[in-house]
């Protein structure tokens, strides 16, 4: 058989969770990046194969219907169905722009909001701690249209609040908190909703903002497919964003769009067999576990383990999250973010402390925080990495108690 996928199964992945003993002390745990490999066992167990025939995506263009001919109609339809099932975003009378991950769409949005401004460069701000990529992405090409200006709270306190774009991220990476815009002015707003899915946080109402960014990476774990989408109110803004994507990459790979649609169709199909939200039962047709329920359970379990460890000592503390009624699950739940915002209560530098046990994390300074007592660890590692991370943190916790 000359065709077909030639890669192997991802290493260290086993759907049997009992086989994940911690790794040896020498193995470096990379908890710095937010790679969503927590989803791999799910897709290994339940995913259905997908074949893209060789005649597909010969042409650059695909659609007659969308604001850009490079966006696949069937992907836009699936995106709308996913949001309808989850209830996390308004899509009626909105325009959908597809890009290479939400990071490309963020750049497209910055361009669209600034290109016709009369007094560039616009100041780009976000309340700290902010996602570490925002300053880098904003200033990378040294655009004349916009420039990074740091913490939105500081900006709000200045007298001149003209000419700005605020990025609002909820639930926020790195600390998982729920955010609102803080600058009181008439600047542009970009809402980064990468983690506004029921596995991470209660869905309380459909989000309805001018520009909302979503990504397949944190929806289903398919970060390598590089698929993101923006839901945009204003047609002109959506057209400018599409123009940016056209000049940048001539659309997104049609193969990637087909793959994203396939994954979404699978999720939508399984949930829609169960009627509409609230979805109280975690099993779908043929006893499959439903995606959001599966990911929710896995994250809840990890958070319980981490919180148990933290309260058993005095060395670390974690952010607390409120309870809220989740319309998707039909019950009161709390947040189980993709990252834990760890504070070291006794050590001066939390990132360095974790480094000492071969755990890489992302120190608070990368999120605009000057206090080195904070560091961000990933909760979406694979199970073996998480088990190892947990046992090394437990070791640090216990050794501090012994010293006391
Ligand atoms: N926004 C936030 C808050 C993120 O955490 C990430 C990924 N870590 C992104 C955007 C980028 O996601 P993508 O893979 O779609 O580029």
Condensed to tens digits (0 to 9), the pLDDT of residues 339-387 reads: 999 999 999 999 999 999 999 999 999 999 888 999 999 999 999 999 9
Residue 189 domain-assigned (yes or no): yes
Q: How far is the CA of 380 from the centre of ligand 1 (A)?
A: 13
Residue 5, pLDDT above cutoff 70 = no
Question: Does residue 302 sit in the same domain as residue 156?
Answer: no
Question: Does residue 324 sit in the same domain as residue 247?
Answer: no
Q: How far is the CA of 24 from the centre of ligand 1 (A)?
A: 31
DSSP conformation class of 28: P
Residue 14, pLDDT above cutoff 60 = no
Which of 131, 220, 224, 260 has most ligand 1 atoms within 8 Å of CB, for mutation?
Answer: 131
Question: Does residue 213 sit in the same domain as residue 301?
Answer: no
242's CB contacts (< 8 A; 6+ apart) are 67, 68, 70, 71, 97, 108
| Residue 4 pLDDT | 53
| Contact (Cβ atoms closer than 8 angstroms) between residue 387 and residue 303 | no
pLDDT band at 300 (very low <50, low <70, confident <90, very high): very high
The residue-averaged pLDDT of 59-85 equals 94
| Contact (Cβ atoms closer than 8 angstroms) between residue 171 and residue 129 | no
Residue 230 domain-assigned (yes or no): yes
HSE, side-chain direction, 13 A CA sphere, residue 100: 13
| Residue 274 pLDDT | 87
Q: Is 378 in the pocket of ligand 1 (CB under 6 A)?
A: no
The last residue of a domain, from among 217, 246, 271: 271
Question: Does residue 211 sit in the same domain as residue 128?
Answer: yes
Q: How far is the CA of 104 from the centre of ligand 1 (A)?
A: 10
Residue 57 domain-assigned (yes or no): no
Q: Is 104 in the pocket of ligand 1 (CB under 6 A)?
A: no
CA distances from 357 to 21, 88, 310, 361 (A): 17, 39, 17, 11
Which of 99, 137, 218, 338 has most ligand 1 atoms within 8 Å of CB, for mutation?
Answer: 218
Question: Does residue 290 sit in the same domain as residue 372?
Answer: yes
- CA 23, 27, 28 angle in degrees (round to 5)? 125
Q: CA-to-CA distance for 60 and 69, rounded, in angstroms?
A: 8
Residue 233 domain-assigned (yes or no): yes
Query: In 133-210, which ranges are continuous DSSP H helix?
Result: 133-139, 152-157
- CA 246, 249, 250 angle in degrees (round to 5)? 45
The last residue of a domain, from among 204, 238, 271: 271
| Contact (Cβ atoms closer than 8 angstroms) between residue 39 and residue 295 | yes
The residue-averaged pLDDT of 277-282 equals 88
Q: CA-to-CA distance for 396 and 404, rounded, in angstroms?
A: 13
Residue 404, pLDDT above cutoff 50 = no
Question: Does residue 115 sit in the same domain as residue 194?
Answer: yes
pLDDT in tens, 217-261: 999 999 999 999 999 999 999 999 999 999 999 999 999 999 999
Residue 158 domain-assigned (yes or no): yes
Residue 66 domain-assigned (yes or no): no
Query: What CATH code is carried by the domain that includes residue 361?
Result: 3.90.1150.10
Q: Is 228 in the pocket of ligand 1 (CB under 6 A)?
A: yes
pTM for the structure as a whole: 0.94
Q: CA-to-CA distance for 278 and 296, rounded, in angstroms?
A: 15
Question: Does residue 204 sit in the same domain as residue 325?
Answer: no
pLDDT band at 1 (very low <50, low <70, confident <90, very high): very low
Residue 11, pLDDT above cutoff 60 = no
Question: Does residue 109 sit in the same domain as residue 228?
Answer: yes
pLDDT band at 15 (very low <50, low <70, confident <90, very high): very low
Q: Is 172 in the pocket of ligand 1 (CB under 6 A)?
A: no
Residue 154 domain-assigned (yes or no): yes
The DSSP string of 263-313 is HHHHHHHHHHTT-SS-----B-GGGPBPHHHHHHHHHHHHHHHHHHHHHTS
Query: How do 164-169 and 211-215 pair as beta strands?
Result: unpaired
Question: Does residue 259 sit in the same domain as residue 343?
Answer: no
Q: How far is the CA of 250 from the centre of ligand 1 (A)?
A: 21
Question: Does residue 114 sit in the same domain as residue 240?
Answer: yes
Query: What CATH code is carried by the domain that includes residue 144?
Result: 3.40.640.10
> Residue whose CA is closest, atom 6 of ligand 1?
194
Residue 16, pLDDT above cutoff 50 = no
| Contact (Cβ atoms closer than 8 angstroms) between residue 306 and residue 391 | no
Q: Is 169 in the pocket of ligand 1 (CB under 6 A)?
A: yes
What is the count of structural domains for the chain? 2
- Could you give the dihedral angle defined by the CA atoms of residues 130, 86, 203 and 111, in that order, rounded to the nearest 10 degrees? 30
Q: Is 173 in the pocket of ligand 1 (CB under 6 A)?
A: yes
Instruction: Please report where in the chains the tokens 């959506």 appear, as a residue.
Output: 238
For residue 186, the enclosing domain spans: 73-271
| Contact (Cβ atoms closer than 8 angstroms) between residue 71 and residue 60 | no
Which of 168, 217, 229, 339 has most ligand 1 atoms within 8 Å of CB, for mutation?
Answer: 217
Which of 34, 109, 133 has most ligand 1 atoms within 8 Å of CB, for mutation?
Answer: 133
Structure tokens given for 332: 């009161």
Q: CA-to-CA distance for 11 and 34, rounded, in angstroms?
A: 18
The last residue of a domain, from among 271, 297, 317: 271
Q: CA-to-CA distance for 146 and 123, rounded, in angstroms?
A: 6
Give the ligand 1 atom nearest the CA of 103: 16
Residue 238 domain-assigned (yes or no): yes
Q: How far is the CA of 220 from the centre of ligand 1 (A)?
A: 13
As beta bridge partners, residue 363 has 375
Question: Does residue 221 sit in the same domain as residue 347?
Answer: no
| Contact (Cβ atoms closer than 8 angstroms) between residue 317 and residue 343 | yes
pLDDT in tens, 191-206: 999 999 999 999 999 9
Question: Does residue 115 sit in the same domain as residue 262?
Answer: yes
As beta bridge partners, residue 125 has 150, 166
Exposure string (b/e) for 296-317, b if CB count within 10 Å is 16 or more?
bebbeebbeebeebbeebebbe
């Amino acid at each position: 058989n000359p065709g077909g996928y030639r890669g192997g199964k991802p290493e260290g992945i086993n759907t049997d969770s009992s086989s994940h003993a911690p790794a040896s002390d020498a193995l470096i745990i990379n908890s710095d990046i937010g790679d969503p490999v927590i989803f791999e066992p799910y897709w290994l167990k339940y995913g259905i194969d997908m074949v893209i025939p060789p005649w597909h995506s010969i042409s650059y263009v695909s659609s007659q219907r969308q604001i850009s001919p490079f966006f696949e109609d069937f992907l836009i339809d699936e995106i709308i169905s996913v949001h309808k099932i989850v209830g996390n975003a308004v899509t009626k009378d909105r325009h959908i722009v597809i890009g290479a991950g939400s990071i490309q769409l963020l750049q497209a949005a910055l361009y669209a909001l600034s290109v016709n401004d009369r007094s560039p460069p616009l100041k780009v701000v976000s309340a700290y701690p902010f996602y570490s990529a925002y300053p880098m992405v904003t200033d990378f090409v040294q655009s004349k249209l916009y420039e990074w200006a740091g913490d939105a709270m500081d900006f709000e306190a200045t007298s001149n609040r003209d000419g700005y774009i605020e990025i609002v991220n909820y639930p926020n990476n790195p600390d998982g908190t729920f955010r609102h815009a803080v600058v009181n002015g008439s600047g542009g707003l970009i809402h980064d909703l990468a983690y506004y899915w029921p596995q991470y946080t209660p869905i309380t109402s459909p989000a309805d903002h001018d520009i909302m960014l979503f990504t397949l990476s944190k929806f289903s774990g398919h970060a390598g497919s590089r698929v993101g989408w923006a839901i945009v109110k204003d047609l002109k803004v959506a057209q400018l964003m599409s123009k940016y994507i056209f000049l940048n990459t001539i659309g997104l790979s049609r193969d990637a769009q087909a793959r994203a649609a396939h994954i979404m169709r699978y999720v939508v199909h399984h949930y829609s067999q169960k009627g509409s939200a609230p979805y109280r039962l975690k099993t779908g047709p043929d006893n499959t576990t439903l995606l959001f329920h599966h990911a929710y359970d896995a994250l809840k379990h990890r958070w319980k383990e981490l919180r148990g460890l933290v309260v058993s000592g005095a060395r670390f503390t974690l952010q607390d999250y409120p309870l809220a009624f989740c319309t998707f699950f039909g019950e009161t739940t709390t947040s189980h973010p993709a990252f834990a915002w760890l504070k070291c209560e006794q050590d001066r530098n939390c990132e360095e402390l974790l480094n000492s046990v071969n755990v890489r994390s992302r120190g608070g300074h990368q999120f605009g925080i000057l206090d080195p007592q904070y560091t961000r660890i990933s909760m979406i590692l694979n199970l073996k990495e998480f088990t190892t991370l947990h046992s090394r943190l437990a070791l640090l916790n216990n050794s501090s108690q012994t010293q006391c």
